[in-house]
Amino acid sequence: MNGAGNDFVLIDNRKQSIRLSRPQVAALCDRHRGVGADGVILLVPPSSDKADWAWEFYNSDGSSGEMCGNGARCFARFVERQIGVNGDFSFQTEAGLIKAAFQGKCVTVSLTAPVGLRLNEQVPLPSGRQTIHSLNTGVPHAVLFVPDADQAMVRELGAEIRRHAHFAPKGTNVNFVQVLGPNHVRVRTFERGVEGETLACGTGVTASALISARIHKFVSPVQVQVQGGDQLEVSFRENNGDFAEVRLTGPAEFVFDGKMEI
């Protein structure tokens, strides 16, 4: 499946008969020798009655991931098709409880409350100091505003910031954000765990939109153009200086079904 170009291998593991090792996940995600994907998502039963379902999420390098916004939308559509869900439902992630709703071809996921907002931090890099903002929208994100996203040094600068001591010990995802107009931005993301740029990053889109609300006084909803060409929407409510009711809306599409020997 893919969500705005962010692609995933989804597996129905409700019987919990599948155990994937880190090398096996990486092999599935290998674009030359495997299926090719930014991550792998397994549908599993929830561990409590607070959620309808649960997932296990893995980055393309085989590491476990706490949350993925585009993956969450794909997972919701996958559950709808596999199980025949009629209406909204919730599922467990390492980041917390996520709620999913359907609007035609689009899926909306209600994300966990963002934490750790830090603005206008001066971070020293080999290329010079950069003004970086950061926010955890399920996973940590750094945000840099740039005049032209096409000219942003996503791979080089993204790799420097991703593992910078300022974001130790786990590192961060890095988003390069260009303001296109009122409540409208373009985002390119260097993703931790993929260790490169992806065509879209849902939690990065969300972090970029929320930080834009603080820095550029954007109001909900914010339209976000991603590298794959799609447009996502981030809506939110501000409550005493905090963000609440954060939602991410966008497409979630099936590409193909198949079997693979691992």
Which of these is catalytic: 29, 68, 74, 106? 68
- C-alpha span between 144 and 106 (Å, rounded): 28
Q: Three-state SS string across 74-115, please?
A: HHHHHHHHHHCCCCCEEEEECCEEEEEEEECCEEEEECCCCE
Give yes or no: 68 in active site.
yes
Query: What single-letter amino acid sits at 246?
Result: V
- C-alpha span between 10 and 69 (Å, rounded): 15
Give yes or no: 106 in active site.
no
Which of these is catalytic: 29, 74, 106, 201? 201
Non-local (6+) Cβ contacts of 148 within 8 A are 178
Sign of the CA dihedral running 93, 30, 2, 194: positive
Q: Active-site positions?
A: 68, 201
